[in-house]
Structure 1
Amino acid sequence: MYKQQVIRRIVLCCLLGLLYPFSLLAQSPEVAAHTDTNSIRIGEQIKLHLTATLSAAQFKDAGFKILFPVLPDSLDHFEVVSRATPDTVSQQDLKVIRQTYTLTSFDSGHWEIPPVKFEVITGNGVTDSLVTAPVGIDVTTVAVDTTKAFKPIKAIQTVPWNIWDYWLYIVIGAAAALLIVGLIWYFRRRPKKVPVVHTPTVTPYEVAQQALKMLKEEKLWQQGNIKQYYTRLTDILRVYFEHQFGIAALEQTSEELLQHIKPVTKLNQQRDKLRSILAIADLAKFAKLQPTADEHEDCMVKAEEILEWTRPKEEPVSTPEEVAGKKA
């Protein structure tokens, strides 16, 4: 009795094992390919629908995936015009995933859209393939009745002119003309801006005089900074010449500067003093000459004399009474 129960259990297990693959097969999704028509003329478009039908359990299973095929841009006798993204439709307990391709053909004849393959991935990582059946399409040409006579080519017909056909261009042109006229009127009528002349409150002479005063107070040569002392001294004079007389003194050598001051009468009258300052300064800066204390003081005195000699004359300021007397 015990042996019979054991044998029955073994047979039952074997039957379940045999039926298990069939249960898996019954759960496999269904794939299909169909078109909205099976006959088109050359150049017309056709819709190819790829569908995959899944059970609700398969659709909700995160490990179960079905991969739609990716059609190339060109098939045998067919061209892919566009691709739509897959969408899902519910049908009772089933989920239908659908993707639509738009195709066209320029070859007449009976052609077949080849089978396409879907990839199925189960939760255990098992990969399987499902293939659709081919779809036949008839591509026909435009029917021509050869029994009728050829008709002559029609002459070019002139379309009558209508102003309302060009209303948009007329409006744009009128708006542009009004805008141009308005801009011209505005620029002619607007008040002209008078340039504001800013009178400098500090003259180049005053700047140079103040700079020499500060140089004397710093006592650079007394502290052994001979090169810095003469660099500052000559730069003060060069900046003064540039701002007061318009001479590019900062960009010139000593000899070039002495040549360019000749047209300036006041400055040329101090030529010997300037030459003496520049000569001692060049030797101190470039030849490392150590002038005496008297030479340091003499250079400062000559620089102050050059400033005083070339100082611009100050115009007298007229009082209101003097202006009224001149007018009378």
Structure 2
Amino acid sequence: MSRGSWGGNRRAAIVSLLLACGALGVGGDLRGQSPRVAIEPDTTEIHVGDPLALRLSVEHPADLAVRWPDSLSLGPFEALALEASPPEAYGEGVRTPAVLHVTAFELGELELPSFDLELTDGASVTATVSTDPVVIGVTTVGLDESGDIRDVKGPRAIARNWLLLWPWLLLAVALAGVGYWWGRRRRRSPHRTDSRPPVPARPPHEIALEALDRLEASPLLERGEIKPYHIEVSRIIRAYLEGRYRIWALEMITPDVISSLGHAGVDPGLRTGFERFLEACDLVKFAKRRPDEAACRGILADARTLVERTKFVPPPPAAESEATAAEATAPGETAADGAEATADDRTEAAVP
């Protein structure tokens, strides 16, 4: 080998050595500043299905943050939860701790695989660190083999003393009966001590016909208020029935109203008319039926017809006077004497 070639090789070796030393120095500085992660299990052996806590510690520069994954594939282990804590100062950087909870449903020496964690500066991922694999022993639950196998016991019977239950059963039946009676009483005559409605100051049919006229002149149908219209016409007829037949029609359901009309001696044909009328109103009030304007005006005409057919017509005053005079005139008396006696009787009856 010539002197020149040896010198050239020498210089090349020196340059290579310097570059290698510089690379080692730079690499040492990067390793000192680069992030790293440590993983430590709280135990190395668990029973199948038991939770296992793995403590993670990520050391990284303060200007980076750990981006914890939303899910992890750790087969044969299953991730249960990841509890991350705020970063804390550590050396020239920070350390971010966390606890990963896992479990396993297989037996044997199982390896928890390595997984990656990303570090971000808030805009993008700048670095990635990987954990080391961890081997965990998973064993079955121990069995007590010292004792004999015992037979399965049947269900235990609950002792009952039926004699102690009889008073409670009788009390329940009595309460049910009282509740039924009270409910029917309140439905037929709630908050009342009298058994029949008061006598109106005016003839009921006059009050009802005037109310129907006011309803016909009202703007309810023009505004499309079908339900209030039927509620009002039903109320007018029920109030008329209260005054006419002395039943609590305003506080009864339709079947009870018809039944009470039967007890009051109303003709079956008229009862059928009232039943159809009230049921038509109930369909609008409770079943959300919307008849057209012609049907609405027809229900008002039906109400007038029912009132006219059932209104009370007193006997003519002349006929009543003649009948009274004939009954009051004794044999041998004149009609004038009988009329005078009738007038005296009325006067005496008027005096309190």
TM-score tier by shorter-chain length is: 0.3 to 0.5
TM-score, with normalisation over the residues of structure 2?
0.41
TM-score, with normalisation over the residues of structure 1?
0.44
Higher relative contact order (CA 8 A, sep 6+): 1
